[in-house]
A and B are shown apart, each in its own frame.
Chain A
Amino acid sequence: MRDYGFGSGGAFHWFLQRVSGVVLFILLLVHFLTTHYFPVGDITYQKVLARLSQPGWKLFYMVFIALGLYHGINGIWIIAQDYVARSSWRFIILGLLMVAGLILFMLGSITVIPFKA
């Protein structure tokens, strides 16, 4: 009988994909409600600046960025695993995705963290 390549599972990433999806939905809801539906008066740069200067909102958006990137990149990785069988290609794709995720996370961080009025 053939060996079907048992060894590396996917339980952890499957579980985290669902958890991150639920949390992202809540974060997105909060983001939309505060930014687009219930702003006091018109949205202005000054108001956004005031909100993003608060540590709590910084933390909110850093979590948002981290989970959004994890969810998106993990999704692409799951699709890649369906179609790419060779372990060398899998290694390259996973590496590229992780590097892309890291760069995007850094870009997000240098935008959100130093933001102040």
Chain B
Amino acid sequence: MPTRRFKIFRYNPHTDERPRYQEYEVQVPTGSTVLDALNEIKWTQDGTLTYRRSCRHGICGSCAMTINGANMLACEAQVHTLKRDPIVVEPLRSFPVIKDLVVDMDGFFDKLLLVKPYLIVKTPPPTDKERYQSPEDRKLLDGAYECILCGACTSSCPSFWADKEFLGPAALLKAYRFIFDTRDEGVQERLDVLDNKHGLWRCHTIFNCVEACPKGLNPTWAIGELKKKVISEKF
């Protein structure tokens, strides 16, 4: 069974003066993911290693982290595809570290709430059926509703590195998902949130978010559509 070395970011803000990196050697059977390796380390070598994990199937978004410099889900990152030795595992950039690989996502979710991530309707619902959405209208949301809110995109965004109050690609993609939902009646109040100095205009189409998204989504494109929407509403 092959053995791989892992160099893992360790930091406890309550006890450590500064972060450090710790190396571990792990036996990795074929098909092992980075999450499998982290579990192996935690369960058999060092129980103090801290990281988030849940579903193990790339859908809960808990285990997003920086692996060999790129943001990805640990549960989807196959160890054999990672060529660098040792494999460097770090917490998501630009979020405050709570401990080791666990980051504080409060600000991330605060911004998500700001864009009102729910259907806003003012007209009463039909009494005999649900609110109608044609298949064509539904297709408009493809590539927007699949976001798992792992934070990989926002953490990879240089605009977010520079301006921590920037809404970030995840919140903006969520805004797109509802603004372009033909059943939604809250376009204007969402656009008011997006059109501000920490909103849409901080995106400079760098495309890091596209590269980082583990679900293959394209927040940069969605942000471009939102910019066009704001411009067409204003002028």
Number of A-B residue pairs at CB separation under 8 A: 64
Q: How far is A5 from B195 in the complex, measured between Cα atoms in Å?
A: 11
Interface residue? B230 (CB, 8 A): yes
Q: Could you tell me if A11 and B162 are in contact, using CB atoms closer than 8 angstroms? A: no
A10 near B201 with CB under 8 A, answer: yes
Partner-A contacts on B (CB < 8 A)? 107, 110-111, 113-114, 159, 162-163, 165, 167, 192-193, 195-202, 204, 227, 230-231, 234-235
Measured CB to CB, the nearest residue on chain B to A82 is B162
Q: Is A38 an interface residue (CB 8 A)?
A: no
Distance between Cα atoms of A6 and B163 in the complex (Å): 14
- Given contacts A15-B231, A82-B202, A85-B163, whether A9 and B111 have CB atoms under 8 Å apart is no
Q: Which of B110, B113, B193, B201 contacts A14 (CB 8 A)?
A: B201
**Chain B contact residues: helix, strand, loop or mixed:** helix
Least Cβ–Cβ distance between A19 and chain B, in angstroms: 10
In the assembled complex, the Cα of A95 lies from the Cα of B167 at a distance in Å of: 27
The one of B165, B195, B198 in contact with A11, judged by C-beta atoms closer than 8 angstroms, is: B195
CB distance from A81 to the nearest CB of B (A): 6
> Would you mind naming 13 contact pairs between A and B with Cβ atoms under 8 Å apart?
A1-B110, A1-B113, A6-B192, A9-B199, A10-B197, A11-B231, A11-B234, A14-B201, A15-B231, A78-B201, A81-B197, A82-B162, A82-B204
Interface residues of A (CB under 8 A from B): 1-2, 4-15, 78, 81-83, 85
Would you call B163 and A14 a contact (CB within 8 A)? no
**Are B198 and A4 interface neighbours, CB within 8 A?**
yes
Beta-carbon nearest neighbor of B194 in chain A: A9
- Set A4, A11, A83: member contacting B230, Cβ < 8 A: A11
Q: Which residues of A contact B107 (CB under 8 A)?
A: 2
A15 neighbours in B (Cβ, 8 Å): 231, 235
